[in-house]
Chain A
Amino acid sequence: GNSVTQMEGPVTLSEEAFLTINCTYTATGYPSLFWYVQYPGEGLQLLLKATKADDKGSNKGFEATYRKETTSFHLEKGSVQVSDSAVYFCALGGSSGGSYIPTFGRGTSLIVHP
């Protein structure tokens, strides 16, 4: 079946540092890939997505490129802020027998210090 593997956290950075959160996946076919962000006390919200190989999703300074050859979708940001402190989930949107079967990674906590 499908699976998503994210780097374990927490990731602790100083403000303005460069961020990378690794995400790799296994799936049949070519699913869409997503990054969601969860701020404390809130639900998940879509951060960015990519629907086919070599697509780059971007939002709020975050970027991720759909790499079919390495089955990866790593999240990057050039300069993090304290307000970026949250839990980040990598996910893929698979399907099976006509049903939508999303798969989430375990989440990576990011802590940014001033």
Chain B
Amino acid sequence: EAQVTQNPRYLITVTGKKLTVTCSQNMNHEYMSWYRQDPGLGLRQIYYSMNVEVTDKGDVPEGYKVSRKEKRNFPLILESPSPNQTSLYFCASSPQGQGNQPQHFGDGTRLSIL
């Protein structure tokens, strides 16, 4: 089954404790992206990757890091999480990152930073 898989689905942690949210897709997609969803603000893009070893900032990259060492994986790293990063996070992918291609989304990761 074609899918985007995120882990963990839920995480409660404390300020300053490094964490990684993994994202993996099995569709051989070149483009991958991370979003955060907050009430009243919709989806905002954090980082995206057009292909392996190519990453770029989205609208709200501060406090996040990503890497793209292989095509299927695109982890999101919070080196020193803070409470304002409490949010619902989505990973997404599309075949080549072209404007006419829809994105495939994971089921989300709900992070709570205390």
Contact = CB atoms under 8 A, between A and B. Distances in A.
Contacts of A106: 40-42
A70 interface: no
Interface stretch (B14-22, B61-69, B94-102): B94-102
A105 B48 CA distance: 18
B98 A102 contact: no
A99 B92 CA distance: 15
Interface in A68-107: 89, 92-95, 98-100, 102, 104-107
A41 interface: yes
Interface residues of B, number: 27
A107 B41 CA distance: 8
Interface of B: 4, 31, 33, 35, 40-43, 45, 48, 50, 56, 90, 92, 94, 97-108
Interface of A: 31-32, 34, 36, 41-46, 49, 51, 89, 92-95, 98-100, 102, 104-107
21 contacts: A32-B100, A32-B101, A42-B107, A42-B108, A43-B106, A44-B43, A44-B92, A44-B105, A46-B102, A89-B42, A93-B100, A98-B50, A99-B56, A100-B48, A100-B98, A102-B45, A102-B99, A104-B42, A105-B42, A106-B42, A107-B42
